[in-house]
Structure 1
Amino acid sequence: MTHPESQESHPGLSALTGLLYAGLVAYLAGWYLDKWTGNFSLLLFLMSVVTFFYWVAERWVFLPQRRAAADALVKQDSERRAKLAAEGIKADNIDVDAARRAILRQPWWLDWTAGLFPVIVLVFGLRSFLFEPFRIPSGSMVPTLLVGDLILVNKFHYGVRLPVIHKKVLENNPVQRGDVVVFRYPEDTRIDYIKRVVAIAGDEVSWRNQRLYINGQEVATESLGPYFDQDSLKERPLFKEKLGAVEHQMLVDRDAPSYFRMDRADGPFPFAQNCQYILEGVTCRVPAGHYYALGDNRDNSRDSRYWGFVPDENIVGKAVMIWMNFSDPKRVGRFH
């Protein structure tokens, strides 16, 4: 009695799956080694599509084939036993159930594709439409967010966007002054940035003499004394700032120079004519569909003062909480 389906079948698909996994490993390795900038949303989308086809093929083609082969094996064994019994011969003790289970068992290339499809789609959906985790890589948002903070970003707070193409299909809350937002960096949209929105469309925003002005009015601040900055290993002046309904802390040296210039690799930024750079700082009129964003570490942040406005289509979501910091678990929680 033979059951060839219990052996590795479809060697072409097995080899193809191996090549796909080799490509995935190479892509992730190059991303980790900074050989190129990865796009995790696109990667998850492609993995969802590929595993979906494997899942459909397993459900409608491969699994029925294995079941048919298993049923044929059982039928063959039953006929053999009946024939032997009719001839007065005692049948041998072949473990047909074990052979049947071997035939029904998924080969590795289906287990690692079709078997992962529900998990990948769930992760892709949660990350695309609900919440996405990010790691803070720099100190531009100190003291609000520190290097190593792992944060959650609410992807639906400002509306629902289609993954990969970033097309907004459903409006929700508008971006407000004081919101901490993650957005695709205008100079290189493959990179995600995090800053605080200080001005919205129609606002005149100024950063002059180390102070922030919105529509001609200086934004209220209150000195909170010194703050020990772990990055510079020195004390920095700490202030409380109120933007709309949001109160937050920020670092700024009032005596530092305030001169800025457009510093963007691809030339003048869109709507650069809306900005005036002078010795005391910079003043801009925020165009429609755009925002002006600054880091809370005002003297150590590359932000709108250098590269211009954040387009609404670049918005990824609103940062809402720190879910972990392995160096300091006490930081877990909402940061406002």
Structure 2
Amino acid sequence: MDDSATHDNESGKPIGSRQGEAKGGGAASEVRETLSFLLKLALAVFIIRSFLISPFVIPSESMLPRLLVGDYIFITKWNYGYSKHSLPWSLPLIPGRIFAGTPARGDVVVFKAPPTNDQDWIKRVIGLPGDTVQMKNGQLFLNDKPVPKQRIADFIEPVSPNTHCEPAYQDTADDGSAICRYPQYRETLPNGKSYNVLDLGQTIADDTQVFKVPEGHVFLMGDNRDNSEDSRFPQMAGGGIGFVPIGNLEGKAVVNFWSTDGSASWVLPWTWFSAARWERIGEGF
């Protein structure tokens, strides 16, 4: 029987063998295309998170009442310039600081916390280079002048897995649900920026020395004044942060894009919606 039908007349290779090569080449091409797509996607995410916008989740109560544990926010990355801390894992790809900008008093910022510079923290800018900052009997003084502080209605937070309400502040709402009730005040900085703070009573953080903010640094404080390790305390791993270099600032908080009370379970998808604090989504700064 003539076997010429099973061979390529020009190459002499079996036709079935060439078809196998085509299939193998197609599979390899698909793998290359997939890897190329994943590489491009990773690069796009890297650029967006480093230079445009990045998410951040609130891990502690140091910024109550503005931010609750379980809030997810977006920060914009271009406001204060770029340094290695703008990049994931603080990759040393940017020498020094470029396109430098100075924050405004009252900005809420995410930064690498001194002295280790390996954790992302969030606080409010209170003092700029050259400013003096002091706390006297719970009153904030900026450049020797008291920052207006007005008592307003108590801050009410429903008790949930994401709250850590001390017994002294536990209360019951009209509907019988458990709540935390905190004394709340309104502060207004010299530039007109107003925000709410909590003052839970007399603590060591209510009376401080006079701090002179050095050049290239900022003085940061948490809005939960009696429950915040911030610039009022000397730099210590896991403790105070002292003066924070402006180059450590990663970005400015701009909006809440999600918030959960901590009661959701990953294996129960419907709880993702019941745990959401819908009223907090979309809140700006």
Q: So what's the TM-score if we normalise by structure 2?
A: 0.73
1:8 matched to which residue of 2? Answer: none
Q: CA deviation at 1:194?
A: 0.3
Change (3 A) 1:156 1:93: same
2:7 matched to which residue of 1? Answer: 80
Q: In the aligned structure 2, how far is the partner of 1:212 from the partner of 1:113?
A: 55
Q: In the aligned structure 2, how far is the partner of 1:259 from the partner of 1:282?
A: 11
1:54 matched to which residue of 2? Answer: none
Amino acid aligned to 1:257: Q
1:61 matched to which residue of 2? Answer: none
Amino acid aligned to 1:82: N
Stretches of structure 1 lacking an aligned partner (at least 5 in a row): 1-76, 86-91, 261-278
Q: In the aligned structure 1, how far is the partner of 2:10 from the partner of 2:152?
A: 94
What whole-Å deviation, never above 9, does each CA across 1:114-173 have from its counterpart, x for those lacking one?
442101110111111111111100010011111011111111111133532254553254
1:309 matched to which residue of 2? Answer: 243
Q: State whether structure 2 residue 137 is matched by structure 1 residue 137.
A: no
Amino acid aligned to 2:102: P
- Contact 1:167/1:313 (8 A) holds in 2: no
Change (3 A) 1:167 1:102: same
Amino acid aligned to 1:250: V
Aligned ranges 1:8-27 → 2 under 5 Å:
none
Q: CA deviation at 1:305?
A: 1.0
Count of residue correspondences: 235
Q: State whether structure 2 residue 210 is matched by structure 1 residue 290.
A: no
Return the structure number with greater helix share.
1
Q: In the aligned structure 2, how far is the partner of 1:84 from the partner of 1:295?
A: 77
C-alpha RMSD over aligned residues? 3.0
Query: What fraction of aligned residue pairs are identical, expressed as a percent?
Result: 31
**Aligned match for 1:321, one of 255, 277, 282:** 255
Q: State whether structure 2 residue 202 is matched by structure 1 residue 257.
A: yes
SS at match of 1:206: strand
**Runs of 4+ residues deviating >6 angstroms:** none
Q: State whether structure 2 residue 120 is matched by structure 1 residue 192.
A: yes
1:280 matched to which residue of 2? Answer: 207
1:245 matched to which residue of 2? Answer: 192
Amino acid aligned to 1:159: G
Which structure would you say has the larger Rg?
1
**Aligned match for 1:332, one of 276, 281, 284:** 281
Amino acid aligned to 1:140: S
Q: CA deviation at 1:334?
A: 3.6
Stretches of structure 2 lacking an aligned partner (at least 5 in a row): 158-162, 171-179, 234-239, 261-275
Q: CA deviation at 1:192?
A: 0.8
